[in-house]
Amino acid sequence: MLTSFVLVSISYAQNFPVTPASPTEFKRRNLGGTLGSAVTGVRQVKPKTVTIQYIAVSDKRTFVSTEGKKVTAHLLAFEDGGAAPSEAPLTLIKEGKIRLLVDGNTKPNVLPLTRLRPEDQAFVKALEKAQLAALKGSAEEEK
């Protein structure tokens, strides 16, 4: 009789929940016996592959900050490349900031346009102006 009580107590103790390791996981006690332990509430989640497309509006070039720091990067539009191209101009300067994809990085850096030397600021503004002129010219040709 004592043996059956001990076995029931051991099996009950092994299935008694302990503090959760995370909100979705609950671990069970391991008493180290031959009965083992169990982990419940754990779901296997397949990793998703996410493809991010950026629209580069310039070739790779060296940008220089006002402090003299040089960085080789592509100038990116603020729109992503996932949508179909539209007739609207790309946003190169948004709220006074630009996006650069620095050579060797996978995520773009957003920085104020004023942090670039005047020559680089003029380059970005000239690209934006040329893009607007090209869109305006193509719209006039269609008429």
Contact 60, 103 (CB under 8 A): yes
- pTM listed for this prediction: 0.59
Are the C-beta atoms of residues 57 and 77 closer than 8 Å to each other? yes
The answer, yes or no, to whether residue 141 has pLDDT greater than 90, is no
Contact (Cβ atoms closer than 8 angstroms) between residue 88 and residue 107: no
Q: Where in the chain is the domain with CATH 2.30.30.700?
A: 54-142
Tokens 């607007």 found at: 132
CATH code: domain 54-142 is 2.30.30.700
β-bridge partners, 116: 65
pLDDT value at position 43?
76
Query: Rg of the chain over CA atoms, in angstroms?
Result: 30
Instruction: Say if residue 116's pLDDT is above 80.
Output: yes
The answer to whether residues 118 and 108 touch, using CB atoms and an 8 Å cutoff, is no
| pLDDT per residue as tens digits for the range 26-80 | 555 555 555 555 555 667 888 888 777 888 889 999 999 999 999 999 999 988 7
